[in-house]
RNA sequence: GCUCCCGUAGUGUAGUCCGGCCAAUCAUGCAGGCCUUUCAAGCCUGUGACUCGGGUUCAAAUCCCGGCGGGAGCACCA
């Protein structure tokens, strides 16, 4: 009873890390630098940061870039990923790059071959697969150390062709899960590594490299996706061979965002190269670069992932939840502004009027904007709001008008007309002095229109709410051209 | 097919380890109301769930067995 009470008092979103001792936790965030970090990566980052903070632990950033062939790293991505990590508040205590540590992996490979933990397998893949399926050893498995080391040298010096040999880890051939049996530790890859070129022709696979680095850097807890769950089982064999203790591991389940389609890194790289996207920060992409550009706040992303917690359950989440978190955080600092998308010019008969919309309805002290329409003047309204038959509408904060595509008539200022009788629409005076050209990049395309001249006082990076349209981040303002470019955040 | 993991409202999530305080938490969504010269904000109300079947027990979301459903892995990828 008492125990339960204590637990409730210190209740947090995330489960405790098993065996974690404050001040002695070491974790690593280990992406493959094949592109910038994505929203999905952010889950790992956020969870690591939360635990590091809770246990006053140490965080390593480790680039697991040991595949120059199928998932080659992108040289620029190393810096991008650091920036993305920093944006989320991550300050790694140490940064490691696997491709700089190849000699270390070689040493361990040799030690393993020497002690009979590893062996050089020269079976063709199909043959080996068959043997493995039947739980049988390959002919090279029990060869003496001298033969193993000779074969290993053949891999290193170019005698053996790519695919001709691979170093395998001795596991339990009878292991009930075939996936864990006799896995490959190092193989020959002749493609030059995008970062360090052709220095090496033998590369460790992730499970080998990562296992060794985790041990050498004293990692105590590993957090990773469920897709890597088998890695833990495989790597344990290696740890046993070397007499090491395996870190604690926790996994998170698969996440599918309703709104995001299938984005694989390799497909994206290709699509960007072909110009289907403007770049890695194209607002349509689920990269942190793109989200940052759109005005998503790191705190919102953290809150989102923290709310999903660390669970192995597979979930299908909605971006709406993230947007709600973000809205809460950006609304107070988003000054209001009128943006008329796809404007139609309408002549108004009748008296002129002035509007004084507040800069922020919840913060009257910030003041108001001012829009003026002269008698028998013209206004711009969004094409989509223009009724076919004349209809009474309220130009927000301005005046009630009876309006259709052919023209309108001022019925009186909005101040005169109380209640909710008329539908409210956004608008602008048709006056170059009071407006600017404005384009908004959205995930669906680019919206063209005009916006209030008050935008000219803003700067790149500022957030605004285009009333009745949505929140946007200002990307560029050009006072001399009287133009602005925004990126749509969300509504 | 084999192996492993996971099933609480529309979507997430707390509770499950240590059965009773759970006719089940919170958020989001949706609906309604209030406020309001935007609403996407704020305030209020409502909505809606323990995958199924057995078993153990005085008592099961919680423990056991089985079914069903979902996911992942089974690469000389990460």
A72-100 pLDDT per residue, tens? 999 999 999 999 999 999 999 999 999 99
A341 CA vs B12 C1’ separation (Å): 34
Domains and CATH numbers, chain A: 101-204 (3.90.800.10), 344-428 (2.40.240.10), 435-490 (2.40.240.100)
At A188, is the pLDDT very low, low, confident or very high (cuts 50, 70, 90)? Answer: very high
A414 CA vs B37 C1’ separation (Å): 7
At A214, is the pLDDT very low, low, confident or very high (cuts 50, 70, 90)? Answer: very high
Quote ipTM for the complex: 0.91
Name the nt closest to A210 by C-alpha to C1'.
B78
Check whether A233 has a pLDDT greater than 70.
yes
At A337, is the pLDDT very low, low, confident or very high (cuts 50, 70, 90)? Answer: very high
A429-443 pLDDT per residue, tens? 999 999 999 999 998
Name the nt closest to A228 by C-alpha to C1'.
B73
Mean pLDDT score of chain A, rounded to an integer? 89
A228 CA vs B68 C1’ separation (Å): 27
Q: What would the mean pLDDT of A208-232 be, rounded to a whole number? A: 93
Closest alpha carbon to A436 in A483, A490, A373, A388: A483
At A1, is the pLDDT very low, low, confident or very high (cuts 50, 70, 90)? Answer: very low
A400 CA vs B1 C1’ separation (Å): 71
Name the nt closest to A315 by C-alpha to C1'.
B12
A6 CA vs B56 C1’ separation (Å): 30
Name the nt closest to A14 by C-alpha to C1'.
B14
Covered bases, chain B (protein CB within 7 Å): 1-8, 10-15, 17-18, 21, 27-29, 36-42, 70-78
Name the nt closest to A417 by C-alpha to C1'.
B37
Measured CA to CA, the distance from residue A299 to residue A305 in angstroms comes to 10
């Amino acid at each position: 009873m008492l125990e339960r009470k204590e637990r409730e008092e210190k209740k947090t979103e995330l489960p405790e890390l098993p065996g974690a001792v404050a001040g002695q936790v070491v974790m690593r965030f280990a992406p493959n630098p094949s592109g910038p970090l994505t929203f999905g990566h952010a889950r790992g980052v956020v969870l690591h940061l939360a635990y590091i903070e809770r246990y006053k632990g140490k965080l390593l950033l480790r680039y697991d870039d040991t595949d120059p062939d199928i998932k080659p790293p992108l040289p620029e991505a190393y810096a991008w990923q650091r920036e993305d990590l920093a944006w989320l508040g991550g300050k790694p205590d140490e940064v490691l790059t696997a491709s700089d540590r190849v000699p270390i992996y070689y040493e361990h490979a040799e030690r393993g071959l020497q002690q009979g933990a590893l062996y050089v397998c020269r079976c063709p893949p199909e043959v080996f697969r068959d043997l493995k399926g039947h739980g049988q050893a390959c002919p090279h498995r029990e060869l003496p150390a001298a033969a193993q080391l000779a074969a290993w040298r053949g891999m290193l010096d170019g005698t053996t062709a790519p695919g001709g040999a691979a170093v395998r880890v001795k596991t339990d051939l009878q292991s009930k899960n075939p996936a864990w049996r006799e896995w490959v530790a190092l193989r020959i890859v002749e493609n030059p590594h995008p970062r360090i070129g052709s220095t090496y022709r033998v590369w460790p696979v992730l499970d080998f490299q990562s296992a060794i680095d985790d041990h050498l850097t004293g990692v105590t807890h590993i957090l990773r996706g469920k897709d890597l769950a088998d890695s833990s089982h495989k790597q344990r064999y290696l740890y046993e061979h070397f007499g090491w203790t395996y870190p604690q591991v926790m996994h998170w389940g698969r996440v599918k965002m309703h709104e995001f389609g299938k984005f694989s890194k390799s497909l994206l790289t290709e699509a960007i190269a072909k110009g289907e996207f403007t770049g890695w920060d194209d607002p349509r992409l689920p990269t942190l670069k793109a989200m940052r550009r759109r005005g998503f706040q790191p705190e919102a992303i953290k809150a989102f992932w923290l709310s999903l917690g660390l669970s192995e359950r597979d979930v299908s989440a909605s971006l709406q939840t993230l947007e709600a978190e973000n809205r809460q955080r950006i609304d107070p600092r988003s000054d209001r502004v009128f943006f008329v998308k796809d404007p139609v010019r309408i002549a108004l008969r009748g008296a002129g009027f002035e509007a004084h919309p507040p800069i922020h309805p919840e913060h009257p002290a910030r003041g108001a904007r001012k829009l003026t329409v002269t008698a028998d003047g013209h206004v711009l309204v969004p094409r989509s709001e223009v009724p076919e038959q004349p209809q009474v509408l309220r130009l927000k904060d301005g005046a009630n008008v009876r309006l259709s595509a052919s023209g309108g008539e001022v019925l009186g200022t909005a101040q005169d007309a109380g209640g909710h009788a008329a539908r409210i629409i956004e608008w602008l005076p048709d006056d170059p002095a009071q407006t600017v050209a404005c384009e908004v990049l959205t995930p669906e395309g680019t919206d063209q229109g005009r916006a209030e001249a008050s935008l000219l006082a803003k700067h790149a990076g500022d957030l605004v709410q285009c009333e009745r349209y949505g929140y946007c981040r200002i990307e560029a303002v050009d006072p001399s051209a009287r133009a602005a470019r925004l990126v749509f955040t969300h509504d």
